[in-house]
């Protein structure tokens, strides 16, 4: 241990000045086409909305009218494989893009009308395309998820569901999904083998059930069961063949450039190798690390950005790639030999390819992720089912690539366990110390236990959990992975808005000026804190249930109209059962996000103390003060601000956080059963909605005014209100039962000076030991110098590489709107060892 | 004729593009005034219709360069 720490310490300066490992990677980083978003809009004016996906999709559907829906989806992919533009940019080694121009994004008219027309009518789409785009959007209007789901809601329910107040907007209009591609199957089998398995399934179905053998009985029930399966298997085959064609068109393009373009000899040779990789990587099992990396990139691009839109980059990267890294670097006669340095370059380029991914998701989540273009979170580290360290040389190389490239995406979740080796932990620390904000640290044991206990995941698989998005674990192997957000995370309810309207009988005075929740009584007449609590819980329950219905109806329609035959063919369970991933209901892994959490205990503690214990103010006073946005009630506001606040190891307020968590568990896990039978767990986290929802939430009882930032995510204290040091924060946080959640986000800002000192690593390790011993689920760190951030606000162009942690993701600081920048700066800096 | 949706203070609402958030009341708040005790930018939003009539606060939108976009407050 000493030796490793000593070695790393002597190289601190070197780590500080890291840069891309090759000149080529430096050039590619300089050319990177960042697709960051600020305030819901793309920062780079060159980012535009493309037409090609919409055109191919619509053409495929019109040409195949009358075919089963799943076949139409597959035909769309087949046509895309033949017709979609292939792009190889100068010098890149990993290839592929999902729009016709690497600066552009593609649209998803089959997913939601509102989000599509929003894009079309914005500056994002050039005037010359708008008429055709509008025509396509209107054609899809009755055929898309939104058109299919809306008839199951009353007008007033839709009004609430399309207003971002007490709940996330309904998923069928939102265009925000997430999933987890079973990459392992692709590496191990290749699509040709998967096609063969599906064909055998079809042949068996005919031989066993759809036969005319007069010597065997006829069973119509079995025949009926087989028809839908045959459609699915056929769709899987059509889609997979189309994807192989697409990949091989990339191979052809690489050969054309090599043979006919004026490129240096080294690049010509490289292009020929790239052609060989593209020829093989989707069709056949991976021969080595390059095949696996290219296959992974293609599959991610297709699954997340093209077949349909889905956020995330869920996989246990160091685990699933290790066999191929090992083959390429260490086997005696490898089929695809590579040096460690070449593998590093591929990992570095992956970071740029992810940063270049542009996504036309709905505005809710464009606003929710300022500074990023989507959530791209990879999982690494941890231990296996026998608690043996799973960190390997590739884990370290992934972290080295991260340090070299200094890009905010993709982010990492590190599966922390005492048995993980110290060298890897040192690299994790270096990334944090540099200010990346990642890896975020997750308690491996809690995550593993949760999957086994709540979701019946076998122990060996549970030990290989990967983050689905920011915080939640899920399967990551060959089957049963999450295929859509309505199988996993599905929605959130906004506790702060629920409290705000509980204090106004369900009426929203501050934003919409409408009744948006049930009538829960005149708050001025509430006689006890329990009456307020009951009104608040009723508002939460209404929001939670209305959105859950929207979520389940969305899933029902996804299974019928928005199948994913490409991703499904990679799932062993889907192929075995002849079911599309959207309709396979056997692997629920659900959660509900809970927003702006410290606001609730802080509010209740202040009301309990000042109104019901000290009786300094009445409920009538409070209602008037909140309606006035505290204006004219300055002294009263100071009293409410001075009441006990979460994060200071103060039982007066901590008991309210415990109650808040228990109630969330009751409202979700105990009271809800989703369409797939899943019982969701609460997941308190806020993405960056503590800033972007600020305009929608009125004044709150702990002293916040309308428009100020909200509670800083998960279980984190409100910015600036944790005043008693990091141990007090951890003690408060440990009072909540983390096993009753899917994850609990904890943001901490650590002292810039200490983290960068010689003793920083040891002090951080001590902090992590305390964190682990308190059974806390998660923690992530900001380490920055306030002066740097303030300077970056004045001269953003000089601080392109300055990265900060926002929520479950990190972003370049300059890409954040000011409200989010200020909130990051305002986080309390904790002194380690205090 | 201009409408509310043409205004620089109009931010398209997250779920329904026919509505927007009026951000005319966005401002810097000094630490002593903020709940956090730190200087903060705040946006007190109100819901408006894209095709609503304009008000006396109307300010014309303009196309922004990348540099201007990076300096936007929200």
Q: Which residue has the higher pLDDT, A1 or A138?
A: A138
pLDDT category at A833 given cuts 50, 70, 90 is low
Q: Does B74 touch chain A (CB under 8 A)?
A: yes
> Do B42 and A173 make contact, defined as CB atoms within 8 angstroms?
no
pLDDT digits (tens, 9 = 90+) for A63-81: 999 999 999 999 999 999 9
pLDDT category at A321 given cuts 50, 70, 90 is very high
What mean pLDDT is predicted for residues A704-720?
92
> Do B25 and A720 make contact, defined as CB atoms within 8 angstroms?
no
Q: What is the pLDDT of residue B74?
A: 63
Q: For an interface test with A, which of B26, B36, B65, B72 has the most A Cβ atoms less than 10 Å from its Cβ? A: B36
Structurally, chain B folds into a number of domains equal to 1
* DSSP-assigned beta bridge partners for residue A474: A466
Residue A174 φ/ψ, nearest 5 degrees: -85, -30
pLDDT digits (tens, 9 = 90+) for A173-194: 988 999 999 999 999 999 999 9
Q: Residue with structure tokens 């692997």?
A: A587
Q: Which residue has the higher pLDDT, A192 or A360?
A: A192
For residue A37, the distance in angstroms to the closest alpha carbon of chain B comes to 10
pLDDT category at B72 given cuts 50, 70, 90 is low
* DSSP-assigned beta bridge partners for residue A252: none
Environment class of A601 (CB within 10 Å of its CB; exposed 0-12, middle 13-18, buried 19+) = buried
Question: In percent, how much of chain A has pLDDT > 90?
Answer: 84
Q: Does B30 touch chain A (CB under 8 A)?
A: no
> Do B36 and A364 make contact, defined as CB atoms within 8 angstroms?
no
> Do A822 and B46 make contact, defined as CB atoms within 8 angstroms?
no
For residue B6, the distance in angstroms to the closest alpha carbon of chain A comes to 11
Q: Which residue has the higher pLDDT, A144 or A833?
A: A144
Q: Which residues of B touch A44 (CB under 8 A)?
A: 66
Q: Which residue has the higher pLDDT, A581 or A15?
A: A581
For residue A163, the distance in angstroms to the closest alpha carbon of chain B comes to 6
Q: Residue A593 in contact with residue A469, Cβ under 8 Å?
A: no
Average pLDDT, chain A: 94
Radius of gyration in angstroms for the set of CA atoms belonging to chain B, rounded to a whole number: 14
Angle at A739 between CA A733 and CA A744, to 5 degrees: 50
Q: Which residues of B touch A712 (CB under 8 A)?
A: none
Q: What's the whole-model pTM score? A: 0.95
pLDDT digits (tens, 9 = 90+) for A398-439: 999 999 999 999 999 999 999 999 999 999 999 999 999 999
What mean pLDDT is predicted for residues A108-128?
94
Q: Which residues of A touch B42 (CB under 8 A)?
A: 694, 705, 707-709, 819
* DSSP-assigned beta bridge partners for residue A413: A379, A440
Report the complex ipTM.
Answer: 0.94
Q: Reply yes or no on whether the pLDDT at A20 is more than 70.
A: yes
Q: What is the pLDDT of residue A5?
A: 35
Question: In percent, how much of chain B has pLDDT > 90?
Answer: 73
Mapping DSSP onto H, E and C, the string for A193-257 reads HHHHHHHHHHHHHHHHCCCCCCCCCCCHHHHHHHHHHHHHHHHHHHHHHHHHHHHHHHHHHHHHH
What mean pLDDT is predicted for residues A339-346?
98
CB contact residues (below 8 A), chain A span 634-653, against chain B: 641
Q: Does A126 touch chain B (CB under 8 A)?
A: no
Q: What is the pLDDT of residue A71?
A: 98
Q: Does B38 touch chain A (CB under 8 A)?
A: yes
pLDDT category at A806 given cuts 50, 70, 90 is confident
For residue B5, the distance in angstroms to the closest alpha carbon of chain A comes to 11
pLDDT category at A369 given cuts 50, 70, 90 is confident
Q: Which helix (H) or strand (E) holds A747?
A: strand A747-750
> Do B44 and A629 make contact, defined as CB atoms within 8 angstroms?
yes
Q: Reply yes or no on whether the pLDDT at A519 is more than 80.
A: yes
CA dihedral A335, A336, A339, A340 (to 10 degrees): -100
Radius of gyration in angstroms for the set of CA atoms belonging to chain A, rounded to a whole number: 27
Q: How far apart are CA A768 and CA A773, in angstroms?
A: 9
Q: Which residues of B touch A709 (CB under 8 A)?
A: 36, 40, 42
Nearest of A727, A803, A736, A735 to residue A768 by alpha carbon = A727
> Do A819 and B14 make contact, defined as CB atoms within 8 angstroms?
no
CATH code, B32: 4.10.490
Question: In percent, how much of chain A has pLDDT > 70?
Answer: 98
Q: What is the DSSP letter of A95?
A: -
What residue numbers bound the domain in which B20 lies?
A: 4-70
Q: Which residues of A touch B45 (CB under 8 A)?
A: 511, 694-696, 707
Q: Which residues of B touch A629 (CB under 8 A)?
A: 44
């Amino acid at each position: 241990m000493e030796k490793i720490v000593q070695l790393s310490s002597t190289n601190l300066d070197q780590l500080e000045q890291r840069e891309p490992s090759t000149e080529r990677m430096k050039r590619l980083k300089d050319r990177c086409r960042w697709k960051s978003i600020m305030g819901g809009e793309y920062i780079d004016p060159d980012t535009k909305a493309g037409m090609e996906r919409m055109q191919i999709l619509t053409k495929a559907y019109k040409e195949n009218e009358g075919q089963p829906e799943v076949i139409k989806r597959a035909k769309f992919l087949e046509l895309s494989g033949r017709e979609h533009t292939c792009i190889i940019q100068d010098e890149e080694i990993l290839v592929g893009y999902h729009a016709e121009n690497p600066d552009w994004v593609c649209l998803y008219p089959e997913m939601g009308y509102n989000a599509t027309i929003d894009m079309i009518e914005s500056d994002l789409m050039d005037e010359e395309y708008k008429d055709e785009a509008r025509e396509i959007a209107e054609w899809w209007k009755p055929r898309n998820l939104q058109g299919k789901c809306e008839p199951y809601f009353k007008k007033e329910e839709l009004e609430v569901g399309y207003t971002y107040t007490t709940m996330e907007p309904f998923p069928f209009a939102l265009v925000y999904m997430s999933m987890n591609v079973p990459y392992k199957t692709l590496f191990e089998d290749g699509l040709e083998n998967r096609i063969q398995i599906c064909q055998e399934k079809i042949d068996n179905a005919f031989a066993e059930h759809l036969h005319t053998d007069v010597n065997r009985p006829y069973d119509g029930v079995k025949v009926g069961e087989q028809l839908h399966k045959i459609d699915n298997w056929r769709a899987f085959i059509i889609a997979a063949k189309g994807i192989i064609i697409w990949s091989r068109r990339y191979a052809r393009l690489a050969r054309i450039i090599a043979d006919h373009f004026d490129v240096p000899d080294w690049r010509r040779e490289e292009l020929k190798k790239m052609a060989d990789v593209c020829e093989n990587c989707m069709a056949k099992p991976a021969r080595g690390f390059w095949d696996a990396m290219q296959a992974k990139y293609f599959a991610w691009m297709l699954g997340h950005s093209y077949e349909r839109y889905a956020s995330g980059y869920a996989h246990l990267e160091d685990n699933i790639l290790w066999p191929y890294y090992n083959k390429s670097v260490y086997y005696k006669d490898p089929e695809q030999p590579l040096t460690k340095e070449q593998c590093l370059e591929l990992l570095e380029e992956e970071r740029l390819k992810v940063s270049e991914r542009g996504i036309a998701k709905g505005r809710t989540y464009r606003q929710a992720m300022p500074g990023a273009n989507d959530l791209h979170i990879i999982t690494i580290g941890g231990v296996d089912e026998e608690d043996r360290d799973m960190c390997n040389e590739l884990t370290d190389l992934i972290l080295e690539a991260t340090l070299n490239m200094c890009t905010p995406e993709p982010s990492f979740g590190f599966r922390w366990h005492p048995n993980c080796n110290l060298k890897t932990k040192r690299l994790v620390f270096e990334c944090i110390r540099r200010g990346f904000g990642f890896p975020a640290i997750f308690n491996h044991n809690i995550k593993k236990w949760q999957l086994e206990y709540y979701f019946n995941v076998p122990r060996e698989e549970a030990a290989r959990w990967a983050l689905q998005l920011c915080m939640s674990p899920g399967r990551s192997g060959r089957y049963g992975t999450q295929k859509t957000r309505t199988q996993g995370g599905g929605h959130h309810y906004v506790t702060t808005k629920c409290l705000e309207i509980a204090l106004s009988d369900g009426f929203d005075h501050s934003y919409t000026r409408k009744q948006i929740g049930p009538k829960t009584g005149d708050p001025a007449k509430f006689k006890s804190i329990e009456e307020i609590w009951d009104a608040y819980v009723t508002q939460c329950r209404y929001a939670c249930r209305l959105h859950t219905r929207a979520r389940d109806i969305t899933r029902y329609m996804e299974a019928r109209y928005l199948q994913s035959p490409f991703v499904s063919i990679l799932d062993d369970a889907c192929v075995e059962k002849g079911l599309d991933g959207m309709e396979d209901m056997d692997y629920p892994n659900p959660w509900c996000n809970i927003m702006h959490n410290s606001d609730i205990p802080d509010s209740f503690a202040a009301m309990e103390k000042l109104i019901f214990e000290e009786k300094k103010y009445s409920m009538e006073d409070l209602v008037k003060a909140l309606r006035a946005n505290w204006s004219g009630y300055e002294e009263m506001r100071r009293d409410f601000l001075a009441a006990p606040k979460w994060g200071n190891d103060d039982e007066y307020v901590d008991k309210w956080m415990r109650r808040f968590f228990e109630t969330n568990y009751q409202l979700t896990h105990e009271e809800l059963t989703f369409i797939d039978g899943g019982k969701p767990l609460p997941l308190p986290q806020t993405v960056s909605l503590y800033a972007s929802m600020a305009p929608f939430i009125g004044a709150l009882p702990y002293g916040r005014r309308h428009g100020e930032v909200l509670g800083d995510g998960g279980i984190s204290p409100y910015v600036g209100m944790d005043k008693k040091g990091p141990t007090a924060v951890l003690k408060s946080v440990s009072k909540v039962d983390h096993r009753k959640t899917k994850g609990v986000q904890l943001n901490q800002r650590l002292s810039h000076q200490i983290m960068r000192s010689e003793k920083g690593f040891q002090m951080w390790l001590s902090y992590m030991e305390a964190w682990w011993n308190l059974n806390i689920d998660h923690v992530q760190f900001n380490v920055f110098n306030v002066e740097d951030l303030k300077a970056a606000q004045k001269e953003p162009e000089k601080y392109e590489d300055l990265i900060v942690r926002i929520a479950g993701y990190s972003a370049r600081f300059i890409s954040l709107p000011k409200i989010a920048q200020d909130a990051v700066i305002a986080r309390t800096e904790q002194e380690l060892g205090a | 004729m201009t409408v509310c949706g043409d205004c620089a203070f109009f931010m398209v609402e997250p779920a329904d593009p026919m509505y927007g958030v009026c951000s005319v009341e966005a401002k810097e708040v000094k630490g002593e005034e903020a709940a956090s005790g730190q200087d903060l930018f705040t946006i007190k939003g109100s819901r408006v219709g894209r095709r609503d009539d304009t008000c006396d606060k109307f300010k014309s939108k303009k196309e922004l360069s990348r540099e201007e976009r990076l300096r936007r407050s929200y």
